[in-house]
Chain A
Amino acid sequence: MQAPPLILTVERNLRNLELLNKFLTDNGFRTVSAANMEELDQRLLGSDPIALALVDLAGFDKGIWERCDRLRQSGIPFLVISPQPSPGTQRTGLAHGASGILVKPLVVKELVGMIQNLMRT
């Protein structure tokens, strides 16, 4: 039997991370997390294939965009989560290969739909 898809969650706020991971496991996904840049670098070197990444920009510096580029190069689709709606972030995010920009707070039903759509493609 095939293992459930693995989703990488990048999130500095531990409570957010906990909620996000709980939500994803409840919806039948496996998760692997990164709470800072170093962890993220390690995860990107990991052997388990990552099906999708969710990247919360809050608390990260510009270095995060370089990681986004690496995700794109590795062929991993990813969604960028932004603390507030901002056209700048939106442009930059898309330029670095994000499949979409989500603004907090996330709506559970929308998030499920979006993840499923990205998995299919």
Chain B
Amino acid sequence: MNGIANSRLSTGVQGLDEVLSGGLIRGRAYLVRGGPGCGKTTLGMHFLTTGIKAGESGLYISLGEPEGKLRQNAAASGFNLEGVKFLDLSPPAEFFAEAESYDIFSPAEVELEPTTKRIVEAVESLKPTRVFIDSMTQIRYLSTDAFQFRKQALSFLRFLTDRNATVLFTAEGSSEIPDDDLQFLADGIIHVEFNQQGRTLAVTKFRGSGFRSGEHSMRLGDGGMTVFPHLVPEKIQRDFVSEPMSFGVPEIDELTHGGLERGTTSLITGPTGTGKTTLGLQFIKEAAGRGEHSAVYTFEEGVDTLLNRCGDINIPVRAMVEQGTLSVVQIEPLRYTPDEFARMVRNDVEAKRRRIVMIDSITGYGLCMQGRDFVTHVHGLAAYLRSVGVTVVLINEIDNITGDFRASNDQVSYLADNIIFLRYVEINGELRKAVGVLKKRAGSFEKALREIDITRYGIKVGKPLTGLRGILSGSPELMERPA
């Protein structure tokens, strides 16, 4: 951590500090806005309990929920609110039972003063460094008009921040009572939302600091809140040499003129059963032989199936996993949001120094998206991995077994630096498989196709298939050479 990050105040929410470029700036007031059940209060609990752990003092000013209920909910979510001071300004049960409520003065005239007085007393006596106000909307009703409210809210926040408190306050923005005025006077705004694409968090304002824009996925659970910031490719820091990496199969190295360059994205595409995964694993096996660590994320195949069948074709995936040079992770696409998945890959790459990441397949990855912009996310992940020198292998399945040639179903071809395609070819009435290179940004490649077969001794690749015609027309066939 550098000096700037140290002066920042941690929110206690995993991932959120990163979105905020290191945390909140001390002595400022931040607005947390969102609908019911979006995690505003949870965020506040994180904020206060983290302060307590760091030896700071925290004050929870509740204008809605009573203290007892808040403590109960916090305990159920695993927060330890011990040490957090409460100022409970929620209406007591007797309020409703009291038959006679007043109407001679407006609530603003009657209640604002005692409320303010209690807040001032609590703040003066506790001198908290972190204050959480839940919610500011309640104070709006104690103001005679919008102008008064704005003035009051501003001076209230000023009163707190002048006493070196960092303030988080919530607002329930709705169409009837917009909270635009609060957005103007806050030093920063954190939006929490719950929509069809799941829970998201976004920062739209942060005075005096940069922040990571856009909506980030967020998870609310027993442990509280976790944010998964978008991956942003690092500034290019090429501390790696862009050398070709061999497949360990001489014919494929010939086909690709040396193999795949380090730090590039390659797409292995083809219909089902042509050996896309096997080819990718062969590449990883060769890298493992050089002592490089890889990770495979499989969306379709079970880990056991993969381990077993690779053993059958002389790719010792099981041994690689046991040695720790390879990790095979099965991903249930519907459980993850793209940002969560990206975060997981990133953590693994950073912690275990992975050099190759293979995603099998991007169709499965697409399932995570549930309608989101698929290409953007794959692009973001691949660009990040490339920037740290990781070689990316994307497996792409295309629907048509024969017929018109297509590089990929989704518009992902442009993402790839290299495209290796596999396809079925009919030769003398037999269904055979062929491999070829469609694109290689970093250099030349062989233009011909070669026959490929997967045997129990591994991948076998033949000589270039010359004299093949109609490759891209859909029914490639071998021209018999004149004898």
- The reply to whether A106 and B105 form a contact with Cβ atoms under 8 Å apart is yes
Kindly provide the distance from the CB of A14 to the nearest chain B CB, expressed in whole angstroms: 6
CA of A81 to CA of B106 in the docked complex: distance in angstroms? 14
Kindly provide the distance from the CB of B108 to the nearest chain A CB, expressed in whole angstroms: 9
- The reply to whether A19 and B104 form a contact with Cβ atoms under 8 Å apart is yes
- Contact among B98, B104, B144 with A106 in the assembled complex (CB-CB below 8 Å): B104
The A interface is mostly helix, strand or loop, or mixed, namely mixed
Q: Which residue of B lies closest to A105 (CB)?
A: B106
| Complex interface: chain A residues within 8 A of B106 (CB) | 105, 107
> Is A5 close to B, CB under 8 A?
no
> Is B243 close to A, CB under 8 A?
no
- The reply to whether B100 and A14 form a contact with Cβ atoms under 8 Å apart is yes
CA of A13 to CA of B101 in the docked complex: distance in angstroms? 8
- Contact among B100, B104, B110, B144 with A104 in the assembled complex (CB-CB below 8 Å): B104
| Complex interface: chain B residues within 8 A of A16 (CB) | 100, 102-104
> Is B109 close to A, CB under 8 A?
yes
- The reply to whether A15 and B105 form a contact with Cβ atoms under 8 Å apart is no
- The reply to whether B102 and A15 form a contact with Cβ atoms under 8 Å apart is yes
> Is A108 close to B, CB under 8 A?
yes
| Complex interface: chain A residues within 8 A of B101 (CB) | 15
CA of A23 to CA of B110 in the docked complex: distance in angstroms? 10
| Complex interface: chain A residues within 8 A of B105 (CB) | 19, 23, 105-106, 108
| Complex interface: chain A residues within 8 A of B100 (CB) | 13-16
Residue interface mask A8-48, B partner, CB < 8 A = 1: 00010111100110010000000000000000000000000
Q: Which residue of A lies closest to B100 (CB)?
A: A15
Residue interface mask A89-121, B partner, CB < 8 A = 1: 000000000000000111110000000000000
> Is A83 close to B, CB under 8 A?
yes
- Contact among A56, A58, A81, A105 with B109 in the assembled complex (CB-CB below 8 Å): A105
- The reply to whether A13 and B109 form a contact with Cβ atoms under 8 Å apart is no
CA of A65 to CA of B101 in the docked complex: distance in angstroms? 26
| Complex interface: chain B residues within 8 A of A20 (CB) | 104
Kindly provide the distance from the CB of A31 to the nearest chain B CB, expressed in whole angstroms: 14
- Contact among B98, B102, B144 with A19 in the assembled complex (CB-CB below 8 Å): B102
| Complex interface: chain B residues within 8 A of A81 (CB) | 104
- The reply to whether B109 and A15 form a contact with Cβ atoms under 8 Å apart is no
CA of A14 to CA of B144 in the docked complex: distance in angstroms? 24
Kindly provide the distance from the CB of B104 to the nearest chain A CB, expressed in whole angstroms: 4
Kindly provide the distance from the CB of B168 to the nearest chain A CB, expressed in whole angstroms: 33
Q: Which residue of A lies closest to B108 (CB)?
A: A105
- The reply to whether B109 and A11 form a contact with Cβ atoms under 8 Å apart is no
CA of A11 to CA of B102 in the docked complex: distance in angstroms? 11
CA of A14 to CA of B100 in the docked complex: distance in angstroms? 7
CA of A16 to CA of B99 in the docked complex: distance in angstroms? 12
Residue interface mask B116-155, A partner, CB < 8 A = 1: 0000000000000000000000000000100000000000
CA of A15 to CA of B106 in the docked complex: distance in angstroms? 13
CA of A58 to CA of B102 in the docked complex: distance in angstroms? 12
CA of A107 to CA of B103 in the docked complex: distance in angstroms? 12
CA of A108 to CA of B103 in the docked complex: distance in angstroms? 13
Q: Which residue of B lies closest to A13 (CB)?
A: B100
| Complex interface: chain B residues within 8 A of A15 (CB) | 98, 100-102
Name the residue among B102, B104, B106, B109 with the largest chain A CB count within 10 angstroms: B104
- The reply to whether A108 and B109 form a contact with Cβ atoms under 8 Å apart is yes
CA of A95 to CA of B105 in the docked complex: distance in angstroms? 26
CA of A115 to CA of B100 in the docked complex: distance in angstroms? 26
- The reply to whether A83 and B109 form a contact with Cβ atoms under 8 Å apart is no
CA of A56 to CA of B103 in the docked complex: distance in angstroms? 11
Kindly provide the distance from the CB of A23 to the nearest chain B CB, expressed in whole angstroms: 8
| Complex interface: chain B residues within 8 A of A23 (CB) | 105
Kindly provide the distance from the CB of A34 to the nearest chain B CB, expressed in whole angstroms: 15
Q: Which residue of A lies closest to B104 (CB)?
A: A16
Kindly provide the distance from the CB of B435 to the nearest chain A CB, expressed in whole angstroms: 83
CA of A107 to CA of B144 in the docked complex: distance in angstroms? 10
| Complex interface: chain A residues within 8 A of B103 (CB) | 13, 16, 58, 83, 104-105
CA of A19 to CA of B106 in the docked complex: distance in angstroms? 11
CA of A16 to CA of B110 in the docked complex: distance in angstroms? 11
Kindly provide the distance from the CB of B109 to the nearest chain A CB, expressed in whole angstroms: 5
CA of A21 to CA of B470 in the docked complex: distance in angstroms? 100
Q: Can you give 11 contacting A-B residue pairs, CB < 8 Å?
A: A11-B104, A13-B103, A13-B104, A15-B102, A16-B104, A19-B102, A19-B104, A56-B104, A58-B103, A83-B103, A105-B104
- 19 new A-B contacts, CB < 8 A, other than A13-B100, A58-B103, are A11-B104, A13-B102, A13-B103, A15-B100, A15-B101, A15-B102, A16-B103, A19-B104, A23-B105, A83-B103, A104-B103, A105-B103, A105-B104, A105-B106, A105-B109, A106-B105, A106-B109, A107-B109, A108-B105
5 closest residue pairs by CB, A with B: A105-B106, A16-B104, A15-B102, A15-B100, A16-B102
